[in-house]
Structure 1
């Protein structure tokens, strides 16, 4: 399944601080959240959400990528949907992620194939729509757009669609800002 990269780049959304009670603690004390994060992120999932550690299943990889056919990522999603029956999947990127910004796909055997395409389209779109944005703003926008793309890709997967329809699964896009130690939700308009 492929991305509609241009539609992703053009999405309208807002960034909203994540409230510590955004996801309420479960009474069962079992995993209710799959957190997909970046290997080099310094975000503490429990701090961002205010839920106990035992309620979060964490999967980290280079660039919080789930859409590139990686068996580890696919296995984590399957495990969490079918066995743990999580109620939430959070894809959390972070600003200043050098993996997302500089990954060109050549070094890591195509790990970044979608990032590379999205990066080029995002730069082109931002140049045409708002050429006044500086490097940092463009990079932040790229990270946000990429997290939204990963969330969209997840929503199109058959097992995820089924869990959304039958079990009420919710998918969320977050970005973390280590300079302010804040996590933000990306809310589509």
Structure 2
């Protein structure tokens, strides 16, 4: 049996087992969704939001992209945020990065000519790495350097989300959290809680912002 056929067979098994254990599960899902959390995570196949948080279908409104980046000029992520805040009225927004992130690692290497779309996507990460060059250059181990930039990136996405008018000017602004997941142990570490008092300071100097926007 090939991989795709196995996936379809597993779907049948999951649907049957779920319906057997809770006859109202699927009928409830057809009535609409009311998740209280927007999850902005990485597309990495090893970091599925529902699995690592033990969530059920309907619990999370999820957006995933390379390196869990938020950019107000990206209609994809902005449309998700807009719907989450204005229609679903979520209580919390979580940016969850992960250690060992390939997108973060790529931002510390020369651009690949074979990956032009990825290069454009991670341009803000490259700019962030330049802003924190002194700190990152002081980390001798390459894996530790990648992991530190992954943390700094999560904090930068939290800051940007909190500053965007969709969040800042909402009637009831959602709390924005920064988390990072460890592939080595399956644990989530909190980098920024949803409290305004821990709002990360801007990482970008104005010149860096302009440079990133112009790439």
Give the TM interval when normalised to the shorter protein.
Answer: 0.7 to 0.9
- Bigger strand share: 1
CA distance in 1, matches of 2:135, 2:188: 26
Aligned with 1:102: secondary structure? helix
Instruction: Structure 2: state its 5+ residue gaps.
Output: 1-32, 193-197, 201-215
Alpha-carbon deviations, 1:30-60, whole Å to 9, x = none? 2100000111152232344454331210111
Specify which structure has the bigger relative contact order, considering alpha-carbon pairs within 8 angstroms and separated by 6 or more residues.
1
Q: What is the number of equivalent residue pairs in this alignment? A: 157
Contact 2:136/2:149 (<8 A) preserved: no
- Bigger helix share: 2
Query: Which range is displaced more, 95-104 or 58-67?
Result: 95-104
Write out the 4+ residue segments of structure 1 that deviate beyond 4 Å after TM superposition: none
Q: Normalization by structure 2: what TM-score?
A: 0.65
Aligned with 1:151: secondary structure? helix
Q: RMSD over aligned Cα, in angstroms?
A: 2.4
CA distance in 2, matches of 1:132, 1:186: 19
Partner residue, 2:166: 159
CA distance in 2, matches of 1:169, 1:151: 12
Paired residues for 1:10-159 under 5 Å:
30-67=34-71, 69-103=73-107, 107-108=116-117, 110-127=120-137, 131=138, 133-159=140-166
Q: Normalization by structure 1: what TM-score?
A: 0.73
